[in-house]
Chain A
Amino acid sequence: SYELTQPPSVSVSPGQTARITCSGDALPNQYAYWYQQKPAQAPVLLVSKGNERPSGIPARFSGSRSGTTVTLTISGVQAEDEADYYCQSADSSGVYSLFGGGTKLTVL
C-alpha cells in the first residue's frame, strides 16, 4: 500500500534551520500539507497545497517540493517549535488521504 515516509526524528539548535522531508511516489501529482502537533494539543495546519501558509502561521515555516520529496523548512528554529510534524497528501488516485509517520523535532 502507498506510504509517505518521514524521518522519525530531527534535531537542531535554536536559531538554526530545520528541514523535515516526506517522500512518496504520488507527491509530484498531489498536494502536500504539513501539520505541527504539540503534546495534548490538536494538530495545526502549517503549510497548505505545498507552499501556502494559512493566516497566523509565522513566515519561518515554508514548504517546497523536489520530485517525489516534499520538505518543511523551519528557519530560525525556536524552542517553542519542538513538536511532532506530519506531512499529509493523497494517493495516486487522489481519493484517499494519508499521513506520514511523523517526525519529532528536538530543539537542543
Chain B
Amino acid sequence: QVQLQESGPGLVKPSETLSLTCTVSDGAISGNYWSWIRRPPGKGLEWIGYIYYSGSTVYNPSLKSRVTISVDASKNQFSLKLSSVTAADTAVYYCAKGGEGFDYWGQGTLVTVSS
C-alpha cells in the first residue's frame, strides 16, 4: 500500500510562489510517475503535471509557464512550485501516484491565496 502525504504552507500571498512537498512511503518513488492535481472550491479536478522518478516532467499547458515539479528520490519526496499565484490558485492540492490513471492519492492540503 503506497502512502502519500502533502505538506507546505496553507496561506500564500498573491504574486508569491506556492511550494508543496509530497512524501511517499519508503521505496515507492523509483520506477513510477508522480502527479499533482488540484480542486478549486466549487469546481472540478484539474491535473497540474507529472514527474517520472528519473526527473522528466510534463505540465498542463494552461499552467506550464508557472509550474515546476521536481523529485528527490533519496528523500522519497517530490515537490510542486507554482509561481505568481492569484486567488484563482486557491484550491485543495493533491499529490498522486501515476502519470495517467492515479491509483494512490494523498489526503490533500488546502492552499489559500490571500493577502
User: A-side interface residues toward B, CB under 8 Å?
Assistant: 1, 31, 33, 35, 37, 42-45, 48-49, 54, 84, 86, 88-90, 95-102
Tell me whether B101 and A99 are in contact (CB under 8 A).
no
Question: Which residues of the partner chain B approach A35 to less than 8 Å between Cβ atoms?
Answer: 45, 102
B79-115: CB near A (< 8 Å → 1, else 0) gives 0000000000000001000011111011110000000
Tell me whether A99 and B107 are in contact (CB under 8 A).
no
A-B contact number at CB 8 A: 57
Question: Which residues of the partner chain B approach A45 to less than 8 Å between Cβ atoms?
Answer: 101-103
Tell me whether B107 and A97 are in contact (CB under 8 A).
no
**Most chain B Cβ neighbours within 10 Å, of A49, A84, A99, A101:** A99
Tell me whether B47 and A99 are in contact (CB under 8 A).
yes
A-B contact pairs, 25 of them (CB 8 A): A1-B61, A1-B62, A31-B100, A33-B101, A33-B102, A37-B45, A43-B45, A43-B94, A44-B105, A48-B101, A48-B103, A54-B103, A86-B44, A88-B47, A88-B101, A96-B58, A96-B60, A96-B61, A97-B99, A98-B47, A99-B44, A99-B46, A100-B44, A102-B44, A102-B45
Q: Which 10 A-B pairs have the closest CB atoms?
A: A42-B105, A102-B44, A99-B45, A97-B47, A33-B101, A101-B44, A45-B103, A48-B101, A86-B45, A42-B108
User: B-side interface residues toward A, CB under 8 Å?
Assistant: 35, 37, 44-47, 50, 58, 60-62, 94, 99-103, 105-108
Tell me whether A42 and B106 are in contact (CB under 8 A).
yes
Q: How far is the CA of A33 from the CA of B107 in the complex (A)?
A: 20
Question: Which residues of the partner chain B approach A97 to less than 8 Å between Cβ atoms?
Answer: 35, 47, 50, 99-100
Minimum CB–CB distance for A38 against chain B, Å: 12
Question: Which residues of the partner chain B approach A33 to less than 8 Å between Cβ atoms?
Answer: 100-102
Chain B residue nearest in CB terms to A45: B103
8 A-B pairs besides A1-B61, A42-B107, A43-B102 with CB distance below 8 A are A31-B101, A35-B45, A42-B106, A43-B45, A43-B94, A86-B45, A96-B47, A97-B35
